[in-house]
Amino acid sequence: MDEVAYDKLRTRQWQAGQARGFSRRDLLRLTAAAGAAGVAGTLTGATPALAADGPIVKPLPPELFKVFGTNAETRWSALAGAGYHVPIDRFFVRNHTSTPIIDSAAWRLEVFGAGLRGGPVSFSLRDLQRLRAVARSVAVECAGNGRSYFTTQQGQTVSGTAWGLGAVGVARWRGVRLSTVLRRAGLSSGAVDVQASGLDPNFVTGGVDLGPVRRPLPVRKALDDVLLAYKMNGSPLPADHGGPVRLIVPSWIGIASIKWVGRIEVSDEPLFSPWNTQFYRFFGPDFPADGQPFDRQSVKSAFELDPGAVVPAGSRVRLTGRSWSAAGRIKHVDVSTDNGVSWRRARPVGPSIDHAWQRWELDWRPAAGAHVLQARATDVRGNTQPDVARFNTLGYLFDAVVKVPVTAA
């Protein structure tokens, strides 16, 4: 799957008006309606955990999560010793609106569109569970993960949720291949795009109703490695993570992995949605006026501690962390404990799985005082984390090495 070629083709088609779902004219009209305030919102700070009847169902204890309105990021300190897969009780949640409670016995998946040979086909959860199941360890990461570092590390103003590095998690997802379901539904050779829509409330921003959360996939990706998942770490998929059924789209940005899937359109022409024309697109001085689409996640690393952590001075400290890349497994991770002056190679811990992550560790004997930790990962394709991430106004794909202040005392 060559995402760059796909994005170029779709951009040309969109600009030429060969688009259904969300045209360039729709976007211009919306942007004008929303006025100078912009439609993407502004940087929001952390707010106290919401009550149980808030947008997220599961408990969000402050030692596990930092809450941002309808979203909650995992505290990296909560992943120390947590094993390869992130437990459900600490997996980050990114909701455009709020978690819907769906009766899985009544739930149906409707597959429809001009890219099918026949009419719509409907599946119950039972129907999906009767099809051949597959399980995979896959990372889900928000495209905006690390966004706050554009501001704190690069002095740049960006809009969107001010995530640290906790909008990522690897889980064991079990379900059915999307390709199996599409073939059952009568996929035709003329199919072009596949678009799942969520059953959560419509997303309204700047006073405009953008409809259900949705984003198209090219049929090639849809048939390649995408899952319709109904289990997470061995449990029925929890409400906050898309239960009863969500998409899992390996290596692509989190928005591709549509939660609470209710409908899947298979089109015979290019499809567009605000989630690939208005959001999840690079805008800014380095990009074309219409913005530049992207689909894939980048390379990142995180220490399993929170910024500002206090570690014991003068004794051995075992630093642990994880690194991940959408382009392939991690080859090595270099760690600096002296603000980038010297670097040591971290020891890999446990498995390195494609489209998931690599855990690592390094021993350190800090002198009393303030220190800055950094980790830089390189994947098997040679992609490595830069010192500076490429600025874009919506703050996506912050892949630079993060400076983590700690104190030894």
Ligand X SMILES: Nc1nc2c(c(=O)[nH]1)N[C@H]1C(S)=C(S)[C@@H](COP(=O)(O)O)O[C@H]1N2
Piece of the chain touching ligand X by CB under 6 A; list 5-13, 57-65, 249-257, 335-343: 249-257
Q: Which of 210, 213, 237, 333 binds ligand X (CB under 6 A)?
A: 213
168 binds, among Mo ion, ligand X, none (CB under 5 to 8 A by kind): none
| Contacts with 62 (C-beta within 8 Å, 6 or more apart), sequence order | 49
CB 79 → ligand X: shortest distance, Å? Answer: 14
x/- string (CB under 6 A) for ligand X, residues 225-244?
----------------xx--
Give me the residues paired with residue 139 across strands: 170
CB nearer Mo ion, residue 98 or residue 384 = 98
**DSSP for residue 389:** P
322 binds, among ligand X, Mo ion, none (CB under 5 to 8 A by kind): none
166 binds, among ligand X, Mo ion, none (CB under 5 to 8 A by kind): none
198 binds, among ligand X, Mo ion, none (CB under 5 to 8 A by kind): ligand X
By CB under 6 A, tell whether 255 contacts ligand X: yes
Spatial distance between the Cα atoms of 286 and 307, rounded to a whole number of angstroms: 31
Contact 267, 113 (CB under 8 A): yes
CB nearer Mo ion, residue 144 or residue 366 = 144
CB 42 → Mo ion: shortest distance, Å? Answer: 17
Q: Which of 175, 238, 243, 254 binds Mo ion (CB under 5 A)?
A: 254
CB nearer Mo ion, residue 142 or residue 181 = 142
Q: Which of 255, 261, 247 has the alpha carbon at shortest distance from 177?
A: 247
CB 204 → ligand X: shortest distance, Å? Answer: 13
By CB under 6 A, tell whether 142 contacts ligand X: yes
| Contacts with 51 (C-beta within 8 Å, 6 or more apart), sequence order | none
The secondary structure element, H or E, covering residue 56 is none
Q: Which of 95, 180, 336, 385 binds ligand X (CB under 6 A)?
A: 95
By CB under 5 A, tell whether 248 contacts Mo ion: no
The CA angle 300-303-65, to the nearest 5 degrees, is: 95
Helix (H, G, I), strand (E, B) or coil at 215: strand
By CB under 6 A, tell whether 396 contacts ligand X: no
Contact 115, 219 (CB under 8 A): yes
Spatial distance between the Cα atoms of 220 and 395, rounded to a whole number of angstroms: 28
Q: Which of 14, 76, 92, 230 binds ligand X (CB under 6 A)?
A: 92
Spatial distance between the Cα atoms of 396 and 390, rounded to a whole number of angstroms: 9
By CB under 5 A, tell whether 142 contacts Mo ion: yes
Q: Which of 10, 66, 90, 94 binds Mo ion (CB under 5 A)?
A: 94
Cis before 59? omega within 30: no
By CB under 6 A, tell whether 93 contacts ligand X: yes
Amino acid identity, position 366: P
CB nearer Mo ion, residue 149 or residue 360 = 149
Piece of the chain touching ligand X by CB under 6 A; list 89-97, 112-120, 289-297, 325-333: 89-97
The CA angle 388-377-358, to the nearest 5 degrees, is: 140
Name residues contacting ligand X, limited to 168-207 (CB under 6 A): 198, 200
Taking the CA of residue 21 as centre, how many other CA atoms within 13 Å lie in the half-sphere pointing to its CB?
Answer: 29
Handedness of CA 60, 64, 67, 73 (dihedral sign): negative
Residues 141/144/145/146 CA torsion (nearest 10 deg)? 160
Piece of the chain touching Mo ion by CB under 5 A; list 48-56, 198-206, 247-255, 384-392: 247-255
Contact 367, 314 (CB under 8 A): yes
The secondary structure element, H or E, covering residue 78 is none
By CB under 6 A, tell whether 251 contacts ligand X: no
By CB under 6 A, tell whether 94 contacts ligand X: yes
Spatial distance between the Cα atoms of 366 and 52, rounded to a whole number of angstroms: 42
185 binds, among Mo ion, ligand X, none (CB under 5 to 8 A by kind): none
213 binds, among ligand X, Mo ion, none (CB under 5 to 8 A by kind): ligand X
Piece of the chain touching ligand X by CB under 6 A; list 27-35, 256-264, 293-301, 360-368: 256-264
Site residues, Mo ion (CB under 5 A): 94, 142, 254-255
Site residues, ligand X (CB under 6 A): 91-96, 140, 142, 198, 200, 213, 241-242, 254-255, 257-260
